[in-house]
Structure 1
């Protein structure tokens, strides 16, 4: 990708606009060697070649953009130290194009990877360790359409029972096949009997390897602070098997973990760097600049479709509704009206009629309240354009969880309520992840994961992916 970017940059700079300049082959060879090597090193530094990263979505693109920033700095430094001054036009355009081309390339590779994983290829053979119920649920998740994208293919199980002992510590033993049959009285554990059983003992890692395992996935039961789990993890990793653990979205996995050796005892502290004052200032600056730039072209579209809305039923063009924002503070959200007047008063009635729950993810696919113009502006997300005024005002951000109403917030559990720790956004992981086609559980995971892991660069990646999601239109209704 860097070679392609460099070739286009040289062609653009010399072959098109400056044809009178002579060609210096040795200079171009030096460009190619230095640019390519430093680009690969930059991608290594941001860990873009790590296992599983290809399936992580916008985090991948954020790392590539970070690599582009590193590449630019490294090239400038190399040129200064070697007294070899690269053409500024070629340097800037090559780095920008390399980032763009690499993102396109990785996007195509992800699509290829997902297609093949649905056919059972490119998977990591995985042994599941945990309670029968936890493993059964995990098997269902990993073999579902979206779960296959993770690349973990169950090949064996290790059902574990935890019980307290006289020494006050937790001990573990393996369920026998007969005990599993007895537990399966309601047939909810049927999927466990499709896999061989590996005992939980000192030879576990050896036997997992004999089954062809590449990964050991702990679903539950094992305490990460127990001596048994520490010994188990050492045995697994010593045989070059990947050790993975199922973690809830509330886990501190997204935090910066620091081990502090205090005089009394070692203390493990966690912090989320994206909530620092400096990062919040950068995000707010992006919101102001982005909303101002977006309002220039969107004002014309707002005017055009505002007239169409007025002509259709004579009602108001804009729709203002109270939503819940940062830290639970209410604010007025602005949208182009896509429903009949006073449609929001029929929410409960429509939910009962359609047999769906009136809660945080309440959506009806064929909503009878949507007008003809409204159907189009919802599909294309034009109805959301007035929200750039909300962003400029500071009630919303360009990127974040979607803003919701009081009754929706009232249905949050303690974990989902963490979405109120960030400003709601015009776009976010929900919009690029499938929108209204997502189940409530999937939407919750995406939103809480954003709260835990957002950064300036992931925001940029989400904004880029939103363009494709809007044109695709999946889940927009």
Structure 2
């Protein structure tokens, strides 16, 4: 298929001696002199993506200047400083964990101190702990681009790094016969993980605060797409500072079908009308083979595809190769329906190229390990919480004389119904007046029926809901196999009946006591946000990710985020 791309527009002559192209007054010259190659009935222009060169624009001064280093990866200065600071802080967390463990276990410390003489045993232990932790963090990509903006994925990587750290310490001690106390090999990674999670959480808050305040710490970005999608993308980037993309230029295009059904799709260059003063400062660029060199001169770090360009198009493939070969990141917005979480493999058969997708984490071994973990930890939780359950049961019975437990039919894995147990936190006639309250508050269409000031909740119910004590009986559901410790929220039958095609994927895993919904805002989330976090969890599920959610659940319970 031959695609036509947006019309090229000749850039005005501009010398790139020692002046920075971050100056809008200079950069705006790129778009001052339009040169149309063909105009459609709508006043748009169309041309092929490749117009003879990737590096020299006819009529410009590029041929007379020294081109930028195409094969170098330009890293923003702030990333060097930020990652260096992270490495130093990570080392400090390891040293601090080592000191704390040594104070808690003085006998093990004295034994280590005696190894090698002159304190060399202690130095060896500290160096080993530091090197092992940094190597583990690097191996799990904790210092890579965008890692600090990923949130849940970041904590998932930290948990993986902790496991790797433990294995590495044990292996090195065994192979080199260092004779370090086993207590250090086991506890130092665990305590280091806890301290590093706190450190990275504070670092993320610092990063996001500075981005909100417009103090940099972002990636200059060129956005390609339809004008409508470009506007929406800019608004989303303003609202979500975790991504870190800072728009500096736009490339507005639209797709136009041919006159016949089998005609190739064409890309047309269209005008871009700014919605506000910030958008008016953006540079408008044409989509052609000179876009990569322009992005390089503009010092762009990312080219973000909002829409129009499809992953299997020739223009997209040529653009991606040119962009990535210059060390610039190519990003593309994706919906939940995309195969973005699967392991993709391209089988380049000349007769029929095939793209295969596989979620490797859903193996029999990981499922067995998850089930065994559910049984073990649910038993521990039931034993530890039994005194609390006894007290709560007496308080519920004493308040209104009604039943202690609330039993309700929920839908489990693959759509199988089961009875879920909770401590009763509402009046005995709560279900009878639910429909009336939904009509009064205008929330009949919401999947999750939650009211901040629900008149049905009892006095003790307010307390056990705020502290999530009402969820403790669900550990019996976990023990039975109806639920898991971590998973999507168990839905009601009427909710499942209204599921769309994509959202029904949440029934492919067991519901959980806690999950992405509980640690992402709970009842404060909109219906769309609830759907997003659930489907994203299924796409990116991992055992270490479940551990990260359990750790975040403790924080969410203490803070009472979204619980009512």
Instruction: State the TM-score, normalized to the length of structure 2.
Output: 0.78
Assess, with a 3 A threshold, how the Cα gap between structure 1 residues 18 and 35 changes in structure 2: closer, same or farther: closer
- Counterpart of 2:254 in structure 1 is 161
Helix, strand or coil at the partner of 1:205 = helix
- Counterpart of 2:226 in structure 1 is 131
- Counterpart of 1:8 in structure 2 is 100
- Counterpart of 2:319 in structure 1 is 232
Helix, strand or coil at the partner of 1:315 = coil
Taking only aligned residues, the RMSD between alpha carbons, in angstroms, comes to 2.4
Q: 1:254 offset after TM fit, Å?
A: 0.9
Q: 2:268 aligns with which of 169, 173, 185?
A: 173
Given the alignment of the two structures, is residue 464 of structure 1 paired with residue 551 of structure 2, yes or no? Answer: yes
Assess, with a 3 A threshold, how the Cα gap between structure 1 residues 13 and 308 changes in structure 2: closer, same or farther: closer
Q: 1:107 aligns with which of 168, 187, 201?
A: 201
Distance in 2, Cα, partners of 1:17 & 1:76: 17
Helix, strand or coil at the partner of 1:200 = coil
Q: 2:363 aligns with which of 273, 276, 281?
A: 276
Distance in 2, Cα, partners of 1:55 & 1:118: 13
Distance in 2, Cα, partners of 1:75 & 1:412: 48
Tell me, yes or no, if the aligned pair for 1:348 and 1:358 is still in contact at 8 Å. no
Give 1:80-229 correspondences, 5 Å limit. Answer: 80-121=174-215, 122-144=217-239, 147-164=240-257, 168-177=263-272, 180=273, 193=280, 195-229=282-316
Distance in 1, Cα, partners of 2:103 & 2:472: 39
Give 1:267-346 correspondences, 5 Å limit. Answer: 267-346=354-433
Q: Which has the larger radius of gyration?
A: 2
Helix, strand or coil at the partner of 1:148 = coil
Tell me, yes or no, if the aligned pair for 2:519 and 2:553 is still in contact at 8 Å. yes
Assess, with a 3 A threshold, how the Cα gap between structure 1 residues 345 and 125 changes in structure 2: closer, same or farther: farther
- Counterpart of 2:9 in structure 1 is none
- Counterpart of 2:11 in structure 1 is none
Cα shift readout 1:239-258 (whole Å, capped 9, x = no counterpart): 32211111111211111222
Tell me, yes or no, if the aligned pair for 1:347 and 1:358 is still in contact at 8 Å. no
Distance in 2, Cα, partners of 1:248 & 1:17: 53
Give 1:358-437 correspondences, 5 Å limit. Answer: 358-437=445-524
Cα shift readout 1:279-338 (whole Å, capped 9, x = no counterpart): 111111111111111112322222212222222222211111111111111111111111
Cα shift readout 1:352-407 (whole Å, capped 9, x = no counterpart): 10122333133222111111111111111111111111111111111111111122
Given the alignment of the two structures, is residue 256 of structure 1 paired with residue 339 of structure 2, yes or no? Answer: no
Cα shift readout 1:54-73 (whole Å, capped 9, x = no counterpart): 12122222222222222222
Helix, strand or coil at the partner of 1:137 = helix
Q: Which runs of 5 or more structure 1 residues have no equivalent in the other structure?
A: 182-186
Q: 1:120 offset after TM fit, Å?
A: 2.1
Aligned residues: 467
Name the structure where helix makes up a greater proportion of residues.
Answer: 1
Cα shift readout 1:407-459 (whole Å, capped 9, x = no counterpart): 21122211111111111111001101011111111111100000111111111
Helix, strand or coil at the partner of 1:270 = strand
Helix, strand or coil at the partner of 1:150 = coil
Q: Which moved more, 1:379-388 or 1:299-308?
A: 299-308
Q: 2:120 aligns with which of 26, 31, 39?
A: 26
- Counterpart of 1:184 in structure 2 is none
Q: Which runs of 5 or more structure 2 residues have no equivalent in the other structure?
A: 1-92
More relative contact order, 1 or 2 (CA 8 Å, 6+ apart) = 2
Assess, with a 3 A threshold, how the Cα gap between structure 1 residues 19 and 449 changes in structure 2: closer, same or farther: closer
Instruction: State the TM-score, normalized to the length of structure 1.
Output: 0.91
